[in-house]
Amino acid sequence: MSPTMTLTIASILILKSVGPATIYTFILVMLAAGVAVLVAIFRVIVRTRIERTRSRNWPTASAKIDLVSVADVMDDARFPSYRATLTYTYRNPEEQMGDYSRDFGSEDEAHVWANSYKGETVKAYVNPRDPTRSFLREEDL
């Protein structure tokens, strides 16, 4: 939270003077904070998309799915979701580890999907600049 936003909120709460200027300032600060959060989320999404697009040209390594798990995601109590995660290992040249997650609306569906990959061998796309980073592509699963 920025110092300006903190001071604005504090002045509203302490002074209890809510005039047009204070409300206008508060709305502007909240809009700016919202835009900042949206920009940060957008940057993460774009960076991930770019990396996944670039990964199409990365060398592949044979990876074995060693561990599967399902976790309850507490985003919204009205719409429960479950995240199934596949943890895999590959050699490039040393042993490395990565994971791939997918969300489901039902816990049983998530368990069935995750357990269907336990012990399977899949293709991992390995970053040539950093062999500790890799991706599994959904179309390869």
pLDDT along the chain (141 residues), means of 10: 64 60 80 92 87 80 95 77 94 91 92 94 91 84 71
Note whether 74 and 13 are same-domain residues.
Answer: no
Given this model, what pLDDT does residue 104 score?
A: 92
Together in a domain, 78 and 21: no
User: Which residue range forms the structural domain that includes residue 114?
Assistant: 59-140
70 and 110 share one domain: yes
Query: What pLDDT is stored for residue 95 in this prediction?
Result: 93
Q: Which of 32, 53, 74 is the last residue of a domain?
A: 53
Tell me: do 32 and 91 sit in the same domain: no
For the chain, what is the domain count?
Answer: 2
pLDDT of residue 99: 93
Q: Is the dihedral of CA 31, 33, 34, 35 positive or negative?
A: positive
User: How far is 107 from 87, CA to CA, in rounded Å?
Assistant: 18
pLDDT at 80: 79
Whole-number pLDDT of residue 122: 94
Does residue 49 share a domain with residue 97? no
Tokens representing residue 37 in the block: 């959060």
| Residue 135 pLDDT | 85
Please check whether residues 108 and 122 belong to one and the same domain. Answer: yes
111 and 125 belong to one structural domain: yes
Q: Are residues 77 and 125 in the same domain?
A: yes
Give residue 17's pLDDT: 57
Q: Which residues pair with 65 in a beta bridge?
A: 88
Q: Kindly state whether residues 132 and 66 are assigned to the same domain.
A: yes
Residues 23 and 46 occupy one common structural domain: yes
CA 67 – CA 87 distance, rounded (Å): 5
The 10s digit of each residue's pLDDT in 86-109 is 999 999 888 999 999 999 989 999
